[in-house]
Structure 1
Amino acid sequence: MSLVSVEHVSFAYTAERPILDRVSLAIAPGDSVGLVGESGSGKTTLLRLLLGLARPDSGEIRFDGALLDPGHRAFMRHFRRQAQVVFQDPYSSLDPRQKIFSIIAEPLRSLRIEGDHKEMVAKALDAVGLSPDAADRYPHQFSGGQRQRIAIARAIVPGPRLLLADEAVSALDLTTKVRIVDLLAQLSTSMSLLFVSHDIGVVAALCKRIVILEKGRIVEQGDTAAVLAAPQHPYTQRLLASVPRLSFKD
C-alpha cells in the first residue's frame, strides 16, 4: 500500500483559472520523490492539497489508505504528526522572538505529544548536526544553512513518516545547498520524502523517483535515473537541456 496516493486530482481557484488537471501519483513508505516544474506549474498548489490546506475539486488524496479530509479533526490531528513540511526561506520561517527550543518544540505542544520535550528537541538537533546548546539561542545567531537545519529539526521532532520539502534549498548558497541536500538524503532513509523543486539537478542528486509537472499536468514520472537518462516528453527534455551536468542517483 502507498503511504500517499493522489488519484485524478483537479483543482482551480476560479473557473477561469485551472491549476491542476487529473494529477495522479503515489509515494511509497521509504520513498524519495522529486516533484519538478517551473513556476506556475502547480507544485505549490499540490503541496497545499497534500497538507490538507485545501480540498481537491475532484479526485481524492489518501494517506495510509485513509481519505485526507481537512474537515475531519481526529484524522487531521493524526495526519499532522505523520506529515511535516520544511519551507523555502529559513529566514522567514523561524520566529525571531523565540529561542530555538521553543521553535522546535512547537509541534510537540500543538500536537499534544507527551514525553520529555527537552530530550526530544536535543535528539532532533543532533539529527540535523547541531549541538544541544543551540536550543538556548535565537535564530539571528545562526547562518542561513543552520536556520534551515533548525527548520528541519522542527519538522522531524514529532517523528513523521512523511517529510514535505518545498524548495527547501533554493534560498541557500551552493555549498550550504549541498550540505542540506546531504542531510535530507540521510533523513530520507528513515521516512518518506517529497521534495518540491524547480531544480532538476538537485532532484537528480536526492530522489529515487521523479514526477514532472507542466501547467498542472504530470507529463512524465518514474525512476529518476531512467527518466533523466532518456526523457520521453519534450518538456522534460527542455528542463534537462537547461542543466549542464547531472549526477544521477542509482
Structure 2
Amino acid sequence: MSLMRIDNVSFGYGPGRRVLEDVSLEIAPGDTIGLVGESGSGKTTLLRLLLGLARPDSGRITFEGTPLDPRDRAFMRRFRRQAQVVFQDPYSSLDPRQKIFSIIAEPLRSLRVEGDHARLVGETLEAVGLDASAAGRYPHQFSGGQRQRIAIARAIVAGPRLLLADEAVSALDLTTRIRIVELLERLSRRMSLLFVSHDVGVVAALCRRIVILEKGRIAEAGETAAVLANPRHPYTQRLLASVPRLTTKEASS
C-alpha cells in the first residue's frame, strides 16, 4: 500500500484562479521525491493540501488508504504524528522566546506522545548533528544552518513516516546547504521524503524520483537520473539549462 496518494487533484483560490489541475502523485514507504517548479507553479499550494491545511476542489488525497479530511480531528492528530514539515526560513520558523527544548518538545506535547521527553529531545538533537546540551539555549544563539537542524529535529522528534521539506535549504549559504542536504539524505533512509524545491540540482543530489510541476500541472515525472539525463518536456529542458546543479562531486569537494 502507498503511504500517501494524490489522485486527480485540482484546486483554485477562487473563480479564474486555478492553481492545480488534475495532479496525481504517489508516495511509497521509503520514497525520496523531489517536487520541482518555478515560483507560481503550485508547489506550495500542493504542500498545503498534503498537510490538510486546505481541501482540494476535486480529486482525493489519502494517507494509508484513508481520505485526508481536515474536519476529522482524531484522524488529523494521528496524521500529524506520521507526517511533519520543515519550512524554508530557519530564522522565522523558531519562536525566539522559547528554549530549544520547548521548541523541539512541542510536537510531543501536542500529539500526546508518551515517554521521556527530555531523552527524546536529546537523542533527536544528536541525530541532527547537535549536542544534547543545545536544548538549554535559545534560537538566537545558533547559526542559520544550526537553526535549520533544530527545525528538522522538531519535525522528526515524534517519529514521523513522512517528512515534507518546503524549500528547506534555499535560505542557506552553499556550504551549509550541502550539509543540510547530507542530513536529509541520512534521514531519508528511515522515512519517506517529499522535498519541495525550485532547484533541480539539489533534488538531483537528494531524491530518487522527481516530479516537475509547471503552472499547476505535472509536466514530467520519473526516476531522477532518467529524467535529468533525457528530459522530454520543454519546461524540464529549460529548468535544466537555467538552474545550477549541486552534484555529488561538488558536495564532496
TM-score (norm 2): 0.97
Aligned to 2:129: 129
Q: Does residue 42 of structure 2 align to residue 42 of structure 1? A: yes
- Asked if structure 1 preserves the Cα contact closer than 8 Å seen for 2:100 and 2:137, the reply is yes
Letter in structure 1 aligned against 2:116: D
Distance 1:155 1:79 in 2: 13
For structure 2, the residue ranges without an aligned partner over 5 or more in a row are none
The alpha-carbon deviation at position 16 of structure 1 amounts to 1.2
**Aligned positions of 1:148-167 closer than 5 A:** 148-167=148-167
Distance 2:246 2:175 in 1: 16
- Asked if structure 1 preserves the Cα contact closer than 8 Å seen for 2:202 and 2:245, the reply is no
Aligned to 2:118: 118
Aligned to 1:78: 78
The alpha-carbon deviation at position 243 of structure 1 amounts to 3.2
The alpha-carbon deviation at position 242 of structure 1 amounts to 1.1
Aligned to 1:55: 55
Aligned to 1:146: 146
For structure 1, the residue ranges without an aligned partner over 5 or more in a row are none
Distance 1:61 1:202 in 2: 27
The alpha-carbon deviation at position 245 of structure 1 amounts to 4.3
- Asked if structure 2 preserves the Cα contact closer than 8 Å seen for 1:224 and 1:248, the reply is no
- Asked if structure 1 preserves the Cα contact closer than 8 Å seen for 2:9 and 2:20, the reply is yes
The alpha-carbon deviation at position 15 of structure 1 amounts to 1.1
Superposed CA deviations along residues 80-128 of structure 1, whole A, max 9, x for unmatched, are 0000000000000000000000000000011111110000101110110
Letter in structure 1 aligned against 2:158: P
Aligned to 2:207: 207
Superposed CA deviations along residues 167-189 of structure 1, whole A, max 9, x for unmatched, are 00000000000000000000000
The alpha-carbon deviation at position 246 of structure 1 amounts to 5.4
**Aligned positions of 1:89-238 closer than 5 A:** 89-238=89-238
The alpha-carbon deviation at position 197 of structure 1 amounts to 0.3
- Asked if structure 1 preserves the Cα contact closer than 8 Å seen for 2:200 and 2:245, the reply is no
Aligned to 1:241: 241
Distance 2:123 2:191 in 1: 16
Distance 2:190 2:67 in 1: 24
The alpha-carbon deviation at position 53 of structure 1 amounts to 0.3
Distance 1:172 1:245, change over 3 A: closer
Distance 2:24 2:162 in 1: 18
Distance 1:248 1:133, change over 3 A: closer
Distance 1:238 1:95 in 2: 39
Distance 1:125 1:108 in 2: 14
Distance 1:109 1:94 in 2: 17
Distance 1:108 1:244 in 2: 39
- Asked if structure 2 preserves the Cα contact closer than 8 Å seen for 1:52 and 1:69, the reply is yes
- Asked if structure 2 preserves the Cα contact closer than 8 Å seen for 1:36 and 1:197, the reply is yes
Structure 1 residue runs of 4 or more that deviate by more than 6 Å after TM superposition: none
Distance 1:135 1:61, change over 3 A: same
Distance 1:132 1:196 in 2: 29
Q: Aligned with 1:151: secondary structure?
A: helix
The alpha-carbon deviation at position 247 of structure 1 amounts to 3.0
- Asked if structure 2 preserves the Cα contact closer than 8 Å seen for 1:197 and 1:203, the reply is yes
- Asked if structure 2 preserves the Cα contact closer than 8 Å seen for 1:31 and 1:192, the reply is yes
The alpha-carbon deviation at position 248 of structure 1 amounts to 7.4
Q: Aligned with 2:114: secondary structure?
A: coil
